[in-house]
Amino acid sequence: MPIFAANLTLMFNEWSFLDRFDAAADAGFRAVELQFPYDHAPDAVAARLERNGLTLALFNMPPGDRTAAERGLAALPDRFDEVRTGVDTALRYAEATGCRRLHLMSGLADAADPAAQAAYRRAVAYAASALGGRGIDLLLEPINGRDVPGYFLNSFTAAERLIADLGLSNLKLQFDLYHRQILHGDVAMALRRLLPVTGHVQIASVPSRHEPVGEELNYPFLFAELDRLGYRGFVGCEYRPRAGTLDGLGWFASQRKTE
Ligand SMILES: O=C(O)[C@H](O)C(=O)CO
Ligand SMILES: [Mg+2]
């Protein structure tokens, strides 16, 4: 069975943010991931991890002004200084929590614009080398344009090319099966091919982004495929529960039986 990380931004919303760590551990998770931890002090997050024996698998670097619907800054030519500040902020949280993976969001920009491409490449190279010195991986995640219209990194091919071009050992793909299925399909074959550059996996049903049960993707097959491929990383459960979080954990209980 893969090592599942509960996404505490989307799951366990019945609890206040810090209490979600306790609830996830009580439900049997050994790892969690977060979208944005920045409303809470690094030590407060670290204390919840520690008291529950949880590993923090991943979180996102600061995405810019969320109230203005910004979704990252990396591809925005005039925002490089804020990318640098964001790297410093994210590293403070990573040091406190022991997290070894950070996701850099590209932001909203025209994927065909050479200025955006150059800005993105510069930001990715800068962030990867800043993280590399601390033994932390930088993750790039293609996101589908139905959920986030205008998102710059909207293709697995573009992510794969940049990772190959830059050739930095700590620069990896965040393979979200939900986005992959919407963007390109061919999920199992893509996993087989891209596993060597994959640093983190995420899951949800398609198209509803609920529990990994039913709908378009055959998750029992895909979980077994990750095991067959020898994937030893985390699988982030980045889904919105259909009803209650605990009521929707039948799929997790079935997977735990296969352990
Ligand atoms: O939306 C996603 O799939 C990302 O993983 C994310 O965290 C963006 O906020
Ligand atoms: Mg994702």
pLDDT in tens, 50-81: 999 999 999 999 999 989 999 999 999 999 99
The percent helix, strand, coil of the chain (3-state, each to 5) is 40, 15, 40
- For the chain, the domain total comes to 1
Q: Can 259 be counted among the known catalytic residues?
A: no
Q: What does the longest C-alpha to C-alpha distance in the chain come to?
A: 51
Residues within a 6 A CB radius of ligand 1 = 35, 60, 141, 143, 176, 179, 202, 238
Instruction: Evaluate if pTM is beyond 0.95.
Output: yes
Mean pLDDT, residues 236-240 taken together: 98
Residue to substitute in 102, 238, 240 for testing ligand 1 pocket (most ligand atoms within 8 angstroms of CB): 238
Evaluate if residue 5 carries a pLDDT over 90: yes
Across the chain, what does the average pLDDT equal?
A: 97
Asked whether residue 168 carries a pLDDT value surpassing 80, the answer given is yes
Percentage with pLDDT > 90 across the chain: 98
Instruction: Give distance in angstroms: CA of 256 to centre of ligand 2.
Output: 23
Residue 257 confidence (pLDDT): 84
CATH number of the domain encompassing residue 31 = 3.20.20.150
Distance separating alpha carbons of residues 114 and 110, to the nearest angstrom: 9
117: tokens are: 């491409």
Structure token digits, residue 198 = 């994959």
The reported pLDDT for the residue numbered 27 is: 98
Q: Is the pLDDT of residue 259 over 80?
A: no
185-229 pLDDT, tens digit per residue, is 999 999 999 999 999 999 999 999 999 999 999 999 999 999 999
If DSSP codes are grouped into helix, strand and coil, which group holds residue 59? strand
- DSSP assigned state of 195: G
Nearest CA to ligand 1 atom 9: 35
Residue whose Cα lies nearest atom 1 of ligand 1: it is: 143
Print the domain residue range for 211.
3-257
Q: Residues 181, 208, 102, 47: is their CA dihedral positive or negative?
A: negative
ipTM of the complex: 0.97
Active site residue 33: no
- 90-140 pLDDT, tens per residue? 999 999 999 999 999 999 999 999 999 999 999 999 999 999 999 999 999
Counting ligand 1 atoms within 8 A of each CB, the residue from 141, 175, 180 with the most, and so the one to mutate, is 141
- Measured in angstroms, how far is the CA atom of residue 35 from the centroid of ligand 1? 7
When pLDDT is cut at 50, 70 and 90, the band that residue 258 belongs to is: confident
Q: Which atom of ligand 1 is nearest the CA belonging to 178?
A: 3
Instruction: Report DSSP state, residue 104.
Output: P
> Considering only CA atoms, which residue is closest to atom 8 of ligand 1?
35
- 19 CA → ligand 1 middle, Å: 22
SS3 125: helix
Residue 105 burial by CB count (10 A; 0-12/13-18/19+): exposed, middle or buried? buried
Answer whether residue 46 shows pLDDT above 80. Answer: yes
Ligand 1 centre to CA of 238 (Å) is: 8
How open is the CA angle 148-154-155, to the nearest 5 degrees? 155
Report d(CA 237, CA 23) in Å as an integer.
Answer: 15
Pairing state of beta strands 198-203 and 234-237? Answer: parallel
